[in-house]
Amino acid sequence: MINNLYLYCIAEGHVEINFGNIGINGQEVYSIVYEDLSAIVHDLIVEQEKVEGENLNECAMKHAQVVDVAWKKFGTILPLTFYTVIKGEEGIEPAQNLKNWMQDDYKNLKQKLAKVKGRAEYAIKIFLSTKTIGTLLIQNDPEIRMLHATIARSPKGLAYMYKQKLENLLKKKIEVEAEQYFNDFYKRVTGCVNAIKIEATKTVDSDKQMLMNLSCLVQKKDIIILGKELDVISNINGIVVRFTGPWAPYSFV
């Protein structure tokens, strides 16, 4: 059995600390320091710990909790990706391997810490109800209204053809609306954040489309301003905003 180190995050500051048994599977979490950096870890014996099945969810939650505790204590941290394990080798302790890496990567780590200092990550997902936008277009768009009226007074066969034409036109118009919304919302959000990443959108359901999926790095003082901008966006008919955080800056490290 080889001892390894499970690494949660790299924190700014030279602080030797033991957080107690707050880690994954109740492991003891402590810091390993190099210069003015502290790595937050727990000892891991690979053969003993299994991260699989039902246990996974709990492990992920624990990982996030430890990162949050360290974040609160140190103020500025770089979270590691889930399940980063530093190995030990013949004659080299894992702690030494970790310190060597911190030494080699010191400049890079310091630059990243400076970038996220005093900032936190927030997730913004904006959804568009195609049903609501479609209904509004039917009510207000002259071209669509005209086609709609034509269907009403056309014989059955012709009406079917016009209906298909209407569906295509409506789809196109919804796409144009969505693009305009995207540009407008993006401008509003970028105005109050330090950095932004456009993430891939996901399928929600047939009536609701994810219009934007953003990760934003935000200064604490700007959260209220961002919240106000999101209020403006969410007040638009057919638009739903989901705003979560603060998260450790996973997307900006």
Q: Specify the residue, 88 or 132, whose C-beta has the smaller distance to another protein.
A: 88
Distance from C-alpha of 32 to C-alpha of 163, rounded to nearest angstrom: 68
Residue from the set 61, 149, 161, 198 that interacts with another protein by CB under 8 A:
61
**Rg (the chain; Cα; Å):** 26
Distance from C-alpha of 47 to C-alpha of 1, rounded to nearest angstrom: 7
Least Å distance, CB 56 to another protein, is: 5
Judged by CB under 8 A, how many residues of this single chain contact another protein? 52
Q: Specify the residue, 120 or 170, whose C-beta has the smaller distance to another protein.
A: 120
Distance from C-alpha of 134 to C-alpha of 190, rounded to nearest angstrom: 28
Distance from C-alpha of 43 to C-alpha of 98, rounded to nearest angstrom: 12
Q: Which stretch binds another protein (CB under 8 A): 121-129, 139-147, 148-156, 161-169?
A: 121-129
**Considering the rule CB under 8 A, would residue 45 count as an interface residue with another protein?**
no
**Considering the rule CB under 8 A, would residue 196 count as an interface residue with another protein?**
no
**Considering the rule CB under 8 A, would residue 79 count as an interface residue with another protein?**
yes
**Considering the rule CB under 8 A, would residue 199 count as an interface residue with another protein?**
yes
Q: Which residues contact 36 (CB under 8 A, 6 or more apart)?
A: 12, 13, 14
Per-residue x/- marks for another protein, 138-167, CB under 8 A? ------------------------------
Query: Which one-letter amino acid corresponds to residue 69?
Result: V
Distance from C-alpha of 151 to C-alpha of 242, rounded to nearest angstrom: 38
Burial class (CB in 10 A: 0-12, 13-18, 19+), 103: exposed
**Considering the rule CB under 8 A, would residue 106 count as an interface residue with another protein?**
no
**Considering the rule CB under 8 A, would residue 86 count as an interface residue with another protein?**
yes
Burial class (CB in 10 A: 0-12, 13-18, 19+), 10: buried
Q: Specify the residue, 6 or 170, whose C-beta has the smaller distance to another protein.
A: 6
Burial class (CB in 10 A: 0-12, 13-18, 19+), 44: buried
Q: Specify the residue, 102 or 137, whose C-beta has the smaller distance to another protein.
A: 102
List contacts with another protein (CB under 8 A).
4, 7, 10, 46, 51-53, 56-57, 60-61, 63-64, 78-87, 94, 97-98, 100-101, 104, 112, 121-123, 199, 215, 223, 227-228, 230-231, 234, 241-248, 250-251, 253
